Structure 1
Amino acid sequence: MQPSSRLTRLGLALTAVGTLVVPVLATSALPASAAVTADPSTPVPVVAPEGATMSYVVNVDKVNFGQINKAERAVKAAGGTVIQRYDEIGVLIVQSTKASFLPTLRADKNSAVASAAPTRTVPVSEAPGAPAGRPVPPGHRKLADFEGMYTGSPSGAAGNLDPMEGEQWDNVMIKADQAHKVTDGDRKVTVAIVDSGIEADHPDLKANIVPSLSVNCTGSGVPSPTGWEPTASSHGTHVAGTVAAARNGVGIVGVAPAVKLASVKVVNDDGFIYPEYAICGIMWTANKQIPVANHSYYVDPFQFWCGDQADQAPVLEAMRRAYAFADKRGVVNAAAAGNSAYDLANKTTDDESPNDSTPIDRKINNTCRDIPTELPGVVTVSSLDSSGGLSSFSNYGDGVIDVSAPGRSILSTYVGHRWARLSGTSMASPHVAGVLALLKGTHPEATPAQLVSLLKSQAQDRPCPAGDARCTGTPQYNGFYGDGIVDALKAVQR
C-alpha cells in the first residue's frame, strides 16, 4: 500500500500546466460480503475525556416519530445533546461532554436505540470553547509535486473551443468532445459536488453554480446556507470544473458544461470529512432531490469502517441508511475508489487509521468498508492514466470497481480564478458524475439504478493488462476497469 494523506486521497499530486505564477452490522444491511468473518478486525478503542465535547451517531431501532423521540430522551438522560435529527432514516447526531455517555446509552435496554458510536477519536474542534484547530498528523496535508498552475486563460483556440480545451486528453478518452457536438447537457440537471466547496465567482464556474442548492455541513454536521465556498482547499473547485466548467470562451470545458452545480461542503479546514458532515451532505442532496452527486473522498477517521466493531459499525449503518434514502429520492452517486493502490476485494491490513489521532497497524476483514464508495448503489470509480492503464495509485478490486475514468494529470478549475492539474481517483469520479448528468438529461425519468445500468452497459470494455496478476475478471468486467471506461457519447445518444 502506498503512503496516503488527506490531499493524496482528495487529489493526489498537483503538477505543472504552465508557468509558476457491541452491535455489529446486521448482515441484511449490506451485501453478503459484509457478514462477520471468522477472523475479527482489530479493535480501535476511543476514549472520551470527561468534559471534552465528543461527537456520536445514534441509530434508532425503528424509523418512526415515537421511537425517534424515545431515543432522543434516552440521549438526554445519558448526558447527551441531539445536534441534528434525521427522522427520515432514524439517525441522530449527538454531542456529549460526559465520559460515561456512550456506556450509559448502550446499557439502556428501553431506549429505542439500535446502535451508537463515536464519529471521531478526538474531541470536536468546532465545539464552543474548543481550540480553532489541532495539529494535523504528519503527512496528512502532504502536497506532492507542486510546480505551477495557470493564472489566466490563453487565447487563440481554434473554432468554438475554449482556450485550454485542446489539453483535455481526458475528455477525448471518454468521448466527451464528441458528445458536445450533440449536446452540452440539460440545464435542468444539477450535480452536487460533495466536497470542500466551490469558488463561487470562478470565471469557468459562476454561471453554473446554484447558491440556493448549496450548503455547508462542517459545523458539527448541521446544514448552513452560508460558508459553502472553499476556505482551505481547492479540491472541490477542481472537481466541479471536471463536471461542468462552462463553454464560455474561458479556460476549460467540463464533461457536461451546461448542467448546474451545487456546492455541498463536507471538508473542514483541517481537511477532515467526519461522518456527521458526510451524512449532512447526502441528506441535503436527497431532500433537495439533486439528481447526481459526486463524492471524491472517504469518510474519516477510518480508511475502512469495520462492521464487526461496535465503535465503527453504527457509522457504517448510518451512512448506509442515508445513501439508501438518497437513492429513493432519485439521487445517483459516483465516488472515488481511493488512492492507496489497495485491492478492495481482498482486505487484510490498514496502517492509516484513525487519521485524526494516532494510526495503528490493524487487521481488517471483509466487514470493513471504504465509505461511501463501497456502499450499496454507489458507483465506484477507478483512475486511468492517459494510456488507458490503471493509475499506479488507484485502488482496484474484482467485484468492487464499477467503471473507470481518467484521473492522472487532469486539468481543471482551481481557487483564485486559476486552473491546475491534479491526479487521483478524486479526479476520475467527477468524469463519471458528468457522464451520469448527461445520461439524466437524455433519460430524465430514469431511476438511479437505471442510470447506473446504462452507464455500465455503455462503458468501453477494457481487458486486464497481460501479466498483471492483481487484475482478475473478464474483458467485459474486471477488477481494474469494472465494466469499462465511461462513454459520454453513448450517454447523449437517445
Structure 2
Amino acid sequence: MKRSGKIFTTAMLAIALVLPSVGVSANAGNDNGDEKFRVLVDSANQKNLKNAKQQYGTHREFAGEGFTTDMNEKQFNALQKNKNITVEKVPELEIATATDQPEAKFSAMAASQSAPWGIKAIYNNSSITKTSGGAGVNIAVLDTGVNSNHPDLRNNLEQCKDFTVGSTFTNNSCTDRQGHGTHVAGTALADGGTGNGVYGVAPDADLWAYKVLGDDGSGYADDIAAAIRHAADQASALNTKVVINMSLGSSGESSLITNAVNYAYNKGVLVIAAAGNSGWRQGTIGYPGALVNAVAVAALENTIQNGTYRVADFSSRGYNRTDGDYVIQKGDVEVSAPGAAVYSTWYDGGYATISGTSMASPHTAGLAAKIWAQYPSASNVDVRGELQYRAYENDIVSGSGAGYGDDYASGFGFATVQ
C-alpha cells in the first residue's frame, strides 16, 4: 500500500524497543603479561580516581563513568584487588562482514552497476539507474574510515575525523586502508561521481566519516563511544539531523557504548546498526544493534523465494518467542535490507562486492536520511516509526526463521522507498 502525506510515528504501531548482547573481549596479553590492553577505571571516590589517572595515564574520560587507559595483565590484576576502584576490560568491536575478503574487486566502474541490486530492491524499481534524496541530513559512518577522494563520495564529504588516535580525535583525517568504511558509505549515499559511478540510497545526504576502527577492522569500545557522543553533540551544535550507521559489532555489551547510544538517541539522533553475522541460530544479535535505542538490520539475499527476498543464512537472528508482537524486545531484529553480494565503492578508488549485515545497515541508514529529508519536521523517533511501518507493509517470508508478520529473522520486514 502506497501512502503520502503525514509520516507514521512509532506510537501508531505500538512499538517499544530493547535488544541483545554481543561483544569481543579485549586482548588478553602475552605469556609474560606485558602486552597492554584497554580498560575502564572508575571510583566513587574522586581522590582515588585522580590518583589512578596519575598512575596509569588517561586515554579518554567519560563523565560519571570513569576513564580508560592501557595497562598489562599484571597491572589489571593488581588494580582489581583495590576495593576502592572498579576496573573492567574495554571490549573490541569488529566489522560485520560475512567473509574476510571481498567476493570481487573492480578497478573501474561496471556499467551495469550504477544502481546495484540492493538499490533497485529498496527503490522497488528494477530499471532505476540514478537515485535521489537525503538533502539536509547527515549520515555519520562510524567505521574503518572513508576514501575522501573517491569520485563517488568526495562531493558528499562534510566531516572527516579519526577517533583511533589521541584522547579526542584528529580532524580532517579519516583514511581508510581496509575498505569496509568506504563500501558502507557508498551504499548509504554515493552520488554517482561524474555520472559514471555508483549510486547509494540517499546521494544528496552529507557524509560524516568517523574512523573508529583500525586497519585490521577492529576497534575499542571507548573510541566508538566517543565518536557516537561527538556526532550527537555536533547534531545539537549545528542544529542538524543525524543518522549514525554502525556496521560493526561484538558479542558482549559495553556500558560505554550503551550509554553513548542512549545519549545520542535522547539528543534526537537515529542510530542504525548491523544485526551481526552469527546466524542462522536464535539469539545471536550483536551489540550495538542489540541495544534498546539502536535499529538492528538483518541481511537479505538477491533471491526471490515464496514471493519475497530471502534472509541470508549468515544473518543473525532474534528469538522466536517474541515473534508476532510488533514490539522490539531485547534480542530482536527490527528491519531487513539487502546485504548479500552488494556492489559499492572501495578504498582504492575502485569498487568491490561484499556480503554481510554491514552492507544491510547502510541501506537502511540511507533510507532513514531520505525519509527525514522528506519530512524535515519529524523526530528521530518518528523516522524510526516510519521505517518500521514500511517494513510492516513489506513482509519477508523466505529464509530460516522468516514468516508472516514480525519474525525473529527479518523483523518487521523490508523497509523500502515509497
* TM-score, normalised with respect to structure 2: 0.78
Q: In structure 2, what is the equivalent of residue 149 of structure 1?
A: 105
1:240 pairs with 2:172: no
Q: In structure 2, what is the equivalent of residue 408 of structure 1?
A: 340
Structure 2 counterpart of 1:276, one-letter code: D
Q: In structure 1, what is the equivalent of residue 138 of structure 2?
A: 190
Q: Where in structure 2 are the equivalents of 1:21-60 lying within 5 Å?
A: 46=28, 52-58=35-41
Q: In structure 2, what is the equivalent of residue 94 of structure 1?
A: 69
Partners in 1 of 2:256 and 2:405 — Cα distance? 34
Structure 2 counterpart of 1:304, one-letter code: S
How far off its partner does 1:60 sit?
6.2
Partners in 1 of 2:140 and 2:20 — Cα distance? 29
Cα pair distance change 1:182/1:341, threshold 3 Å: closer
Q: Where in structure 2 are the equivalents of 1:128-139 lying within 5 Å?
A: none
Partner of residue 317 from structure 1, selected from 255, 269, 272: 255
Structure 2 counterpart of 1:80, one-letter code: Y
Asked if structure 1 preserves the Cα contact closer than 8 Å seen for 2:152 and 2:190, the reply is yes
Partners in 2 of 1:485 and 1:141 — Cα distance? 20
1:116 pairs with 2:87: yes
Q: In structure 2, what is the equivalent of residue 104 of structure 1?
A: 79
Partner of residue 371 from structure 2, selected from 427, 439, 450: 439
Structure 2 counterpart of 1:164, one-letter code: Q
Partners in 2 of 1:102 and 1:443 — Cα distance? 53
Structure 1 unmatched ranges of 5 or more: 1-29, 35-42, 62-66, 122-139, 156-162, 306-314, 348-368, 490-494
Partner of residue 406 from structure 2, selected from 464, 477, 492: 477
Cα pair distance change 1:99/1:278, threshold 3 Å: same
Q: In structure 1, what is the equivalent of residue 415 of structure 2?
A: 486
Partner of residue 113 from structure 2, selected from 161, 164, 169: 164
- Report SS of the residue matched to 2:74: coil
Q: In proportion to residue count, which structure has more strand? A: 2
Asked if structure 1 preserves the Cα contact closer than 8 Å seen for 2:99 and 2:355, the reply is no
C-alpha deviations, 1:427-469, integer Å up to 9, x for none? 111000001111221222333222211110122432534xx7x
1:385 pairs with 2:301: yes
Structure 2 counterpart of 1:278, one-letter code: I
Q: Where in structure 2 are the equivalents of 1:334-483 lying within 5 Å?
A: 334-345=272-283, 370-387=286-303, 388-398=309-319, 399=322, 400-459=332-391, 460-465=393-398, 470-471=400-401, 475-483=404-412
Asked if structure 1 preserves the Cα contact closer than 8 Å seen for 2:20 and 2:287, the reply is no
How far off its partner does 1:76 sit?
3.0
Greater RCO between the two (CA within 8 Å, min separation 6)? 2
Partners in 2 of 1:45 and 1:253 — Cα distance? 38
Structure 2 counterpart of 1:235, one-letter code: H
Partners in 2 of 1:332 and 1:44 — Cα distance? 28
Partners in 2 of 1:439 and 1:91 — Cα distance? 38
Partners in 2 of 1:291 and 1:447 — Cα distance? 11
Structure 2 counterpart of 1:234, one-letter code: G
Structure 2 unmatched ranges of 5 or more: 1-16, 236-240, 304-308, 323-331
Total equivalences in the alignment: 371
C-alpha deviations, 1:57-81, integer Å up to 9, x for none? 23566xxxxx7x556315236x322
How far off its partner does 1:411 sit?
1.2
Cα pair distance change 1:452/1:195, threshold 3 Å: same
Partners in 2 of 1:71 and 1:482 — Cα distance? 46
Structure 1 counterpart of 2:314, one-letter code: F
Partners in 2 of 1:392 and 1:437 — Cα distance? 28
Partners in 1 of 2:174 and 2:124 — Cα distance? 29
Cα pair distance change 1:145/1:191, threshold 3 Å: closer
Partner of residue 296 from structure 1, selected from 247, 255, 268: 247
Q: In structure 2, what is the equivalent of residue 312 of structure 1?
A: none
Q: In structure 2, what is the equivalent of residue 270 of structure 1?
A: 216
Q: In structure 2, what is the equivalent of residue 82 of structure 1?
A: 58
C-alpha deviations, 1:391-419, integer Å up to 9, x for none? 12111124510000011111111122212
Cα pair distance change 1:487/1:60, threshold 3 Å: farther
Structure 2 counterpart of 1:244, one-letter code: L
- Report SS of the residue matched to 2:204: coil
How far off its partner does 1:197 sit?
0.8
Structure 1 counterpart of 2:343, one-letter code: L
Q: In structure 1, what is the equivalent of residue 13 of structure 2?
A: none
Cα pair distance change 1:145/1:316, threshold 3 Å: closer
Q: In structure 1, what is the equivalent of residue 328 of structure 2?
A: none
How far off its partner does 1:285 sit?
1.5
Asked if structure 2 preserves the Cα contact closer than 8 Å seen for 1:383 and 1:407, the reply is yes
Q: In structure 1, what is the equivalent of residue 9 of structure 2?
A: none
- Report SS of the residue matched to 1:214: strand
The share of aligned pairs that are identical, in percent, is 24
Partners in 2 of 1:476 and 1:96 — Cα distance? 49
Partners in 1 of 2:129 and 2:105 — Cα distance? 29
Partners in 1 of 2:384 and 2:42 — Cα distance? 29
* TM-score, normalised with respect to structure 1: 0.67
Which protein shows a greater Rg? 1
- Report SS of the residue matched to 1:107: coil
Cα pair distance change 1:222/1:344, threshold 3 Å: farther
